[in-house]
């Protein structure tokens, strides 16, 4: 059956794969996404998966966009419907004129289809049953077969996917042959029995450039390696676990002593999140660069230790890969809802330094930078990623490193300085920036030792219950926080093409959708300056941006507008000036959503131009 | 914890160890614990052990949690870095510190509230993880800082100072450490310095997790007639299984005990433990035997003290993790950062 109004698009559409968790489809789906990328067409895939191991539905959404938009688009032009359990929902979710690809081994009644879509059936199970006897092979190669079918349907180059298989299984010839054979089976069937190419096609382009394709968690782990981390205490939790897996994997490659075979790092799987941050604090106190990776529930558990590290002034790096909250929330869905919990983690007047990467490149660079900042400021530094950025591969500029760069270990007083009689007061503000000097255990036989504690002390680290000593410390910590304002990465401004009274502030993985939303709004004559916040505390440029605009939209992925709350609280901003644009259903925010909300808001206020964009 | 430093008065003929240090060099600030507190005796034993072993004070990192016992690291080894962390979580902080620098000595001081309640998880995992440390529990069966509640080590049937009967069974931290894989397990009494000092010395020389559960009566809240942690009760029910002496290879110590009852145990670092067994059937290299012995004596209402178990071939966490010999906190940029060329190669793989 075929619709008269099928979607026709070259290098600009969305394909969704509906699978069953545990069916081995992930590598096949990724093969397809990479093949698109290798044809020079930008691609943005996203896993939508349940919190279980096997049996529940899972989707893999691939956005193909030669224009380079990497945010989620919304909608679906082609569905690879491999999960009977979600069939009705999947069919319904197709845009009119879309394409439905399914396993036609078992006949489906007409009532299971729609009149306004194109249906493409391939008897995948029957083909697998003829070709393979092993049940697992039948399942795995069925996935590769539908990729082969797609290569034909979308008019892609077979050799591109074939080369990817060769790269993936290099040195394992039987695996290469078997996978290429399955790919060819799917491809040949479609070429022989279905009209192809369909309206959606991939044409070779040159829009990827030298960009790389990697997930944010892997980039965070690599950032920790380059940042000089040697100790991690960690506890498994979705979606942050692969940060540690990446770190240890890269360490095995780059940090194994060539002569002895010994490790130049230590990774300990702790008994819980409390122990993991405890290990980090102990290691950092003793002069190692140390970090942990966790998610919202882990952040909750670590609170007491965050307060200790803040008040005792111990460096620590925490990668928080945010997920749906509160409580267990939506463990495999994305959100940006740990912002306030991290900014003010622990009881009392604590304030923490936060970094907001927007993509894997910044997961790497901010990840490495976090260790310098933690040492320089002697305080915990949080790198706030999220599931969307952390667990999905995306295109980003290639990693780079300045070999002349040296780690900033901050104010460490040495044996020589102590020996020379330099005054050492652990909490003495020598330079007026709020940052004191510290010594590492074992530095000097008779000088520089001090007692670290979470209770009040004087400038020389002696226990004190004096109110004056407490106030001295708190004011110094405030000065230190002010110092941090100029050390965190500066915000990134994208000015609208015309002067405007309106601005939008956003952070992290919202960035690609925000960029596309700006373009959509501009196309409708609505001009909005955008500012991406890269760190907390907020620097003056952010506050100036708000002051310079009559109305500022704050775009984020949580229910309460946490970035907005922080801006109001820390910048003493009039709440009326900041308009919430909130998306928090667990799916990544889309350009359509942002532009729709901003256009609606401006329309409601009867501020021209008021043309709405399609939502 | 105190802000009062001890006066720097020193007798000219004060004994000095091989490093030229006097015992004063191993002391800390003036204790603010109650007069007669058993914890101060333990601090004195730590001072004595470190002095005897010629340990450089600044090569010791002393860590604790929260509570009366956890205050004590301020009162010894004043030239060591100390860390008063959070309640019950000293073991993880110590583990991290030990990961950073394997060349320091790690001394963890904790209490029964700290280790047997909120911290029992971290206590257990530090023992099984093989952290190279001396973990001293100053065990008085009561919460002193909050004025007299039972701790988890308090015996069932004992009474609080206010007359409340304890209906819960006690946790035996030594028995737990044995079960969890600690490779040096001892129990002592803060009033028995003759036994405690050698046990601490043995623990400091041990390569692996060493637990010493020290019964340390609380003079203010748990030294009354209904208590099973009072000085009188412990003295009456104390049965030592052996006596321990540490003899360093470079400086042998003659023992005054009959040679026929000595047992030699060569430790990982070459130091030798000489155990004088009071119980002829007791074998301190037998973990299961030690566990049985503890249970049997406990059933009789007795407190077993002495070196209960030692594994002379123990390996520590760094061996398990296969880390480099050089402390991780001393590795420079060149050893840690793979550089731009490695990134270029990695980028090529990611396209």
Q: Which of A221, A442, A458, A459 to mutate to test the interface with B (most CBs of B within 10 A)?
A: A442
Size of interface A-B (CB pairs under 8 A): 233
Predicted pLDDT at A3: 47
User: Could you read off the pLDDT of A511-521 as tens digits, one per residue?
Assistant: 999 999 999 99
CA angle A518, A524, A529 (to 5 degrees): 30
User: Average pLDDT, stretch A289-307?
Assistant: 98
Q: What's the pLDDT at A609?
A: 46
Q: How distant is the Cα of B100 from the closest Cα of chain A, in angstroms?
A: 5
Check residue B274 and give its pLDDT. 39
Task: Please report how the helices A135-153 and A158-168 are oriented relative to each other, as an axis angle in degrees rounded to 10.
Answer: 140
pLDDT at residue B268 greater than cutoff 50: no
pLDDT in the model for residue A285: 98
Other C-beta atoms closer than 10 Å to the C-beta of B258 total: 8
Neighbours of A96 (CB within 10 A): 12
**Sign of the torsion formed by the C-alpha atoms of A483, A484, A489 and A492:** negative
pLDDT over 70 at B275, yes or no: no
Which of B336, B339, B346, B348 is the best residue to mutate to test the A interface, defined by the most A CB atoms within 10 Å of its own CB?
A: B336
The 10 Å Cβ neighbour count of residue A569 is 12
Reported as a pLDDT band with limits 50, 70 and 90, residue B143 is confident
State the Cα–Cα distance between residues A176 and A165, nearest whole angstrom: 6
SS3 B351: coil
Q: pLDDT band at B271, cuts 50/70/90?
A: very low
Name the residue with higher pLDDT: A438 or B229: A438
The pLDDT value given to residue B37: 85
Determine the Cα–Cα distance for residues B120 and B124; give it in Å rounded to an integer: 6
Task: Round to whole Å and give the CA distance between A334 and B220.
Answer: 54
pLDDT digits (tens, 9 = 90+) for A348-391: 999 999 999 999 999 999 999 999 999 999 999 999 999 999 99
Residue (of B167, B133, B6, B128) closest to B64 by Cα position: B133
Q: Is the pTM of this model over 0.90?
A: yes
β strands within A540-611, DSSP E? 551-556, 578-582
**Do the chains contact at B351 and A213, CB–CB below 8 Å?**
yes
Enter the tokens of residue A377: 């400021």
Q: In chain B, where do the E strands start and end?
A: 60-64, 81-84, 105-111, 133-139, 142-143, 149-150, 184-189, 209-215, 238-240, 242-247, 262-266, 272-277, 303-310
CA distance, residue A262 to nearest chain B CA (Å): 5
What element of type H or E holds B153? none
Q: How far apart are CA B14 and CA B21, in angstroms?
A: 9
Residue B276 bridge partners (DSSP): B243, B262
Cα maximum dimension of chain B = 77
Provide the pLDDT for residue B273.
37
Contact B203, B212 (CB under 8 A): yes
Residue A589 has pLDDT above 50, yes or no: yes
Higher pLDDT, A388 or B250: A388
Across the interface, whether the CB atoms of A264 and B336 are under 8 A apart is answered: yes
A319 strand-pairing partners: A293, A383
**pLDDT on residue B234:** 65
Band the pLDDT of B161: cuts 50, 70, 90.
Answer: confident
Residue to mutate among A225, A278, A345, A454, with most B CBs inside 10 A, is: A278
pLDDT of A52 = 83
Phi, psi at residue A521, to the nearest 5°?
A: -65, -40
Of A187-201, A464-478, A594-608, B256-270, the poorest mean pLDDT is in B256-270
Residues A604, A606, A608, A611: is their CA dihedral positive or negative?
Answer: positive
pLDDT by residue (tens digit) across B36-45?
888 999 999 9
Q: pLDDT tens digit string along B298-334?
A: 888 778 889 999 999 999 999 999 999 999 999 999 9
Digit-coded pLDDT (tens) for B43-54: 999 999 999 999
Instruction: Calculate how close chain B gets to A162, using CA atoms only, in Å.
Output: 15
With a cut of 60, say whether residue A192 has pLDDT above it: yes
Q: Where does the pLDDT of residue A606 fall: very low under 50, low under 70, confident under 90, or very high at 90 and above?
A: low
Phi/psi at A15 (5° precision): -115, 140
CA separation for the pair A482, B68 (Å, rounded): 37
Cα torsion A2, A4, A9, A15: sign: negative
Find the residue in B nearest to A164 (Cα).
Answer: B351
Q: Sorting pLDDT into bands at 50, 70 and 90, what band is B282? A: confident
Task: Report pLDDT for A605.
Answer: 66
* C-alpha triplet A300, B83, B195: angle, nearest 5°: 120
Query: Which strand ranges, in their side-by-side order, compose the sheet holding A353-355?
Result: A266-269, A231-234, A290-294, A316-322, A380-386, A353-355, A535-536
Q: Give residue A387's pLDDT.
A: 98
Q: Which residue in B has a C-alpha nearest to residue A368's C-alpha?
A: B337
Q: What interface predicted TM-score (ipTM) does this complex get? A: 0.94
Query: How far is A284 from A290, CA to CA, in rounded Å?
Result: 6
Residue A557 pLDDT grade (very low, low, confident, very high; cuts 50, 70, 90):
very high
Q: Is the dihedral of CA B114, B117, B122, B124 positive or negative?
A: positive
DSSP 8-state secondary structure symbol assigned to residue A457: B
Residues 6+ apart with CB under 8 A from A325: A296, A297, A335, A337, A338
Q: pLDDT-based confidence at B276, cuts 50/70/90?
A: very low
Among A587, A590, A588, A608, which residue's Cα sits nearest to residue A599? A608
| B61/A255 CB distance under 8 A | no
Report, as an integer, the average pLDDT of A307-331: 97
Q: How, if at all, do strands B133-139 and B105-111 pair? A: parallel
Quick check: B13 pLDDT over 90? no
Smallest CA–CA distance from A461 into chain B, residue? B3
Q: Could you give the angle at which helices A360-377 and A467-485 cross, rounded to 10 degrees?
A: 150
Q: What mean pLDDT value characterizes chain B?
A: 85
- Who among B78, B103, B351 is closest to A212 (CB)? B351
Express as a percent the part of chain B with pLDDT over 70. Answer: 81
Per-residue buried b or exposed e for B287-318, using 16+ beta carbons within 10 Å of the residue's own CB = bebbbebbeebeeeeebbbbbbbbbbebebbb
Secondary structure of residue A87 in the 3-state scheme: helix
Q: How many residues does chain A have?
A: 615
Question: For residue A253, how many other CB atoms are within 10 A of its CB?
Answer: 12
Residues 6+ apart with CB under 8 A from B93: A278, A279, A281, A282, A285, B63, B83, B85
Search chain A and give the residue with CA nearest B118.
Answer: A274
The pLDDT mean for chain A works out to 95
Does residue B251 surpass a pLDDT of 60?
no
CA distance between the termini of chain B: 59
Both structure tokens of A339? 């912002």
Is-contact B198 B192, C-beta < 8 A?
A: no
Closest listed residue to residue B1, CA positions, set B72, B62, B65, B57: B72
> Higher model confidence: residue B145 or residue B129?
B129
β-sheet bridge partners, residue A17: A60, A80
Identify whether the C-beta of residue A139 lies closer than 8 Å to the C-beta of residue A24.
yes
Query: Which tokens is A90 given?
Result: 């999947």
Average pLDDT over residues A276-295: 98
Asked whether residue B119 carries a pLDDT value surpassing 50, the answer given is yes
A 403-422 → B contacts, CB under 8 A: 403, 406-407
CA of A152 to nearest chain B CA: how many angstroms apart? 23
Instruction: Give chain A positions within 8 Å (CB) of B96.
Output: 231, 233, 278-286, 288, 290
- pLDDT of residue B252 exceeding 90: no
Q: What is the mean pLDDT of residues B81-96?
A: 97
pLDDT for residue B246: 52
């Amino acid at each position: 059956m075929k619709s008269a109004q099928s979607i026709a698009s070259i290098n600009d559409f969305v394909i969704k794969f509906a699978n069953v968790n545990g069916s081995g489809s992930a590598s096949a789906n990724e093969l397809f996404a990479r093949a698109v990328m290798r044809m020079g067409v930008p691609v943005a895939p996203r896993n939508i998966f349940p919190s279980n191991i096997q049996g529940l539905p899972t989707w893999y959404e691939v956005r193909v966009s030669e224009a380079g938009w990497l945010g989620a688009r919304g909608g679906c032009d082609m569905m690879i419907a491999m999960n009977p359990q979600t069939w009705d929902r999947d069919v319904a979710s197709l845009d009119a004129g879309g394409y439905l690809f399914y396993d036609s081994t078992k006949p489906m009644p007409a009532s299971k289809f729609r009149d306004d879509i194109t249906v493409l059936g391939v008897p995948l199970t029957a083909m697998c049953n003829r070709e393979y006897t092993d049940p697992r092979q039948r399942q795995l190669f069925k996935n590769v077969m539908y990729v082969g079918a797609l290569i034909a349907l979308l008019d892609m180059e077979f050799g591109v996917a074939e080369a990817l298989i060769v790269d993936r299984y290099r040195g394992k010839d039987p695996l290469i042959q078997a996978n290429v054979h399955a790919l060819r089976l799917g491809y040949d069937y479609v070429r022989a029995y279905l009209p192809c190419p369909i309206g959606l096609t991939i044409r070779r382009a040159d829009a990827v450039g030298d960009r790389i394709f990697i997930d944010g968690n892997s980039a965070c782990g690599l950032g920790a390696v380059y940042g000089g981390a040697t100790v991690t205490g960690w506890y498994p939790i979705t979606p942050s676990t692969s940060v540690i897996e990446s770190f240890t994997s890269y360490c095995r490659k780059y940090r194994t002593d060539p002569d002895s075979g010994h490790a130049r790092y230590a990774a300990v799987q702790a008994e819980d999140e409390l122990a993991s941050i405890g290990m980090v604090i102990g290691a950092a106190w003793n002069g190692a660069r140390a970090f942990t990776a966790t998610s919202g529930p882990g952040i909750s558990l670590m609170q007491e230790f965050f307060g200790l590290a803040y008040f005792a002034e111990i460096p620590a790096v925490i990668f928080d890969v945010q997920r749906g909250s509160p409580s267990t929330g939506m463990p495999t869905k994305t959100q940006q809802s740990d912002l306030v919990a991290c900014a003010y983690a622990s009881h009392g007047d604590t304030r923490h330094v936060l970094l907001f990467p927007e993509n894997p490149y910044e997961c790497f660079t901010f990840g490495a930078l976090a260790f310098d900042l933690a040492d320089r400021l002697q305080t915990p530094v949080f790198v706030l990623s999220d599931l969307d950025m952390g667990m999905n591969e995306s295109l980003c500029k290639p990693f780079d490193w300045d070999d002349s760069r040296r780690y900033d270990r901050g104010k460490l007083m040495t044996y020589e300085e102590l020996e020379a009689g330099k005054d050492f007061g652990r909490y003495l503000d020598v330079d007026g920036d709020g940052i004191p000097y510290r010594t590492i255990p074992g530095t000097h036989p008779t000088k520089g030792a001090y007692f670290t504690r979470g209770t009040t002390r004087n400038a020389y680290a002696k226990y004190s219950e004096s109110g004056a000593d407490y106030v001295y410390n708190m004011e110094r910590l405030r000065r230190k926080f002010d110092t941090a304002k100029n050390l965190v990465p500066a915000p990134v401004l994208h000015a609208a093409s015309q002067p405007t009274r309106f601005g939008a502030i956003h952070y992290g993985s919202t960035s690609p959708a925000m960029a596309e939303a700006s373009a959509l709004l501009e196309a409708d004559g609505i001009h909005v300056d955008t500012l991406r916040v890269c760190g907390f505390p907020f620097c003056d440029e952010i506050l100036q941006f708000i002051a310079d605009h009559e109305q500022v939209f704050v775009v984020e992925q949580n229910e309460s507008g946490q970035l907005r709350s922080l801006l109001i609280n820390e910048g003493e901003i009039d709440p009326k000036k900041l308009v919430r644009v909130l998306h928090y259903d667990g799916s990544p925010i889309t350009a359509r959503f942002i532009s729709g909300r901003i256009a609606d808001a401006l329309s409601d206020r009867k501020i021209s131009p008021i043309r709405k964009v399609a939502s | 914890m105190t802000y009062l430093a001890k006066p720097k008065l020193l007798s000219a003929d004060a004994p000095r160890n091989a490093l030229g240090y006097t015992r004063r060099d191993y002391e800390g600030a003036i204790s603010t614990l109650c007069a007669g507190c058993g914890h101060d005796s333990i601090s004195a034993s730590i001072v004595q052990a470190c002095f005897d072993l010629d340990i450089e004070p600044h090569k010791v990192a002393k860590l604790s949690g929260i509570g009366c016992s956890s205050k004590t690291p301020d009162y010894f080894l004043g030239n060591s870095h100390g860390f008063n962390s959070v309640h019950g979580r000293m073991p993880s902080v110590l583990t991290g510190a030990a990961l950073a620098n394997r060349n320091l000595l790690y001394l963890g001081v904790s209490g029964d509230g700290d280790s047997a309640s909120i911290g029992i998880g971290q206590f257990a995992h530090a023992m099984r993880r093989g952290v190279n440390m001396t973990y001293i529990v100053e065990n008085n069966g009561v919460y002193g800082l909050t004025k007299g509640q039972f701790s988890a080590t308090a015996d069932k049937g004992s009474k609080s100072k206010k007359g409340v009967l304890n209906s819960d069974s006690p946790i035996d931290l030594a028995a737990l450490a044995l079960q969890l894989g600690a490779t040096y397990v001892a129990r002592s009494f803060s009033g028995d310095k003759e036994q405690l000092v050698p046990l601490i010395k043995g623990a400091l020389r041990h390569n692996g997790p060493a637990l010493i559960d020290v019964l340390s009566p609380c003079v203010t809240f748990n030294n009354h007639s209904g208590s099973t942690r009072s000085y009188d009760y412990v003295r009456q029910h104390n049965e030592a299984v052996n006596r321990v002496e540490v003899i360093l290879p470079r400086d042998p110590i003659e023992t005054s005990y009959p040679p026929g009852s000595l047992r030699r145990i060569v430790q990982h670092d070459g130091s030798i433990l000489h155990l004088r067994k009071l119980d002829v059937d007791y074998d301190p290299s037998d973990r299961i035997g030690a566990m049985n012995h503890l249970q049997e004596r406990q059933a009789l209402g007795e407190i077993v003290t002495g070196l209960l178990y030692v594994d002379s071939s123990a390996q520590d966490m760094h061996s398990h993790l296969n880390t480099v010999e050089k402390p991780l906190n001393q590795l420079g940029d060149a050893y840690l950062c793979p550089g731009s060329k490695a990134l270029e190669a990695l980028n090529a793989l990611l396209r």
